[in-house]
Amino acid sequence: MEDIESKWTEIEKKVARSAFEQAYKREIEALMQQVQQKISTLVELDDIWRLHDFLSARRYEVEGKYDYQYPVLLFVFAGLIKDGWLHLTELDGLDKDKLSKVAALSRM
Amino acid sequence: MEDIESKWTEIEKKVARSAFEQAYKREIEALMQQVQQKISTLVELDDIWRLHDFLSARRYEVEGKYDYQYPVLLFVFAGLIKDGWLHLTELDGLDKDKLSKVAALSRM
């Protein structure tokens, strides 16, 4: 099972890219909805600063999380599954050792 | 004209506080309008991050600027006049040396 993080076939790369983009799309859509909801309740300056705090935290989280680099991709997928942005079945097509590792990591 | 920044009569303090709050109110109202305008054009993630950048800059500026401390207040007032949030006439009641200094600084 060594070095499975680094070796990706062309098919695996397609599956991975598609799953990654799907999760990103879902999370961003959810974020847009959250922002729209917060915006609808803006009344005073403190609300704006609270929106700013929220955006700071989410930006840091989103930009850090969506790191498409093969050596760390199984960890990224495990996190996305854990957070509900991806289903393990959407990774069908990956090598079974990779799938096992993602599944195990996502339960940690 | 020495130490005019530190010595404030009770009447001057009232005038200063009122002018300060008035300028703050104006600037915050303008900021709220700008935010509402930006919000109305939010479509994609980059728009949200641009809003975040805008809020970061404005927060830093506003929180730094509204520093109500007598030794620096004349500089604060000069800046507020320069930026259009306050009129010199709204400081009527301050000692004439203070007014001259604010007027001179605001033209720098």
In sequence order, the β-bridge partners of residue B78 are none
CA angle A89, A93, A99 (to 5 degrees): 60
Neighbours of A97 (CB within 10 A): 12
Residues, chain B: 108
The reported pLDDT for the residue numbered B36 is 86
**Residue B68 structure tokens:** 């109500």
Which has the closest alpha carbon to B23: B73, B95, B57? B73
Contact flag B55-A55 (C-beta cutoff 8 Å): yes
Quickly tell me which residue has 């809003």 as its tokens. Answer: B51
Between chains, do B52 and A49 touch, taking CB under 8 Å as contact? no
Residue written as token pair 């599954």: A81
> Minimal CA–CA distance to A31: which of A106, A88, A85, A90?
A85
Q: Inform me whether the C-beta atom of residue B56 falls under 8 Å from chain A C-beta atoms.
A: yes
User: Region B1-28: what's the mean pLDDT?
Assistant: 89
List the structure tokens of B49: 């991050």
Q: Which residue of B has its CA nearest to A34?
A: B48
Give yes or no for B13 touching A (CB within 8 A).
Answer: no
Q: Which single residue is written with the structure tokens 């509402």? A: B36
Chain B, nearest residue to A37 by Cα: B39
Q: Do A36 and B42 touch (CB under 8 A)?
A: yes
pLDDT tens-digit map of B49-108: 999 999 999 999 998 889 899 989 999 999 999 999 999 999 999 999 999 999 999 998
How much is the pLDDT for B67? 86
pLDDT of residue B77: 97
B65 CB within 8 Å of a chain A CB: no
Tokens of B100: 């001259």
Q: What is the pLDDT of residue B1?
A: 46
Q: Do A45 and B56 make contact, defined as CB atoms within 8 angstroms?
A: no
ipTM: 0.75
Q: What angle do CA A39, A42, A47 make, to 5 degrees?
A: 110
Q: Output the tens digit of pLDDT for each of chain A's 108 residues.
A: 457 777 899 999 999 999 999 999 999 999 988 988 888 888 888 999 999 999 999 999 998 889 899 989 999 999 999 999 999 999 999 999 999 999 999 998
- The pLDDT score that the predictor gives to residue A1 is 46
What is the gyration radius of the CA atoms in chain B, in angstroms?
A: 17
CB B51 within 8 A of CB A55: yes
Interface size between A and B, measured as CB pairs under 8 A: 40
Q: Pick the residue from chain A with its C-alpha nearest to B63.
A: A49
Query: Mapping DSSP to helix (H, G, I), strand (E, B) and coil, where does residue B81 land?
Result: helix
Question: Which residue's entry shows tokens 């729209």?
Answer: A36
Assign B2 a pLDDT band (cuts: 50, 70, 90). Answer: low
- Residues B3 and A90: their CA atoms lie apart, in Å, by 72
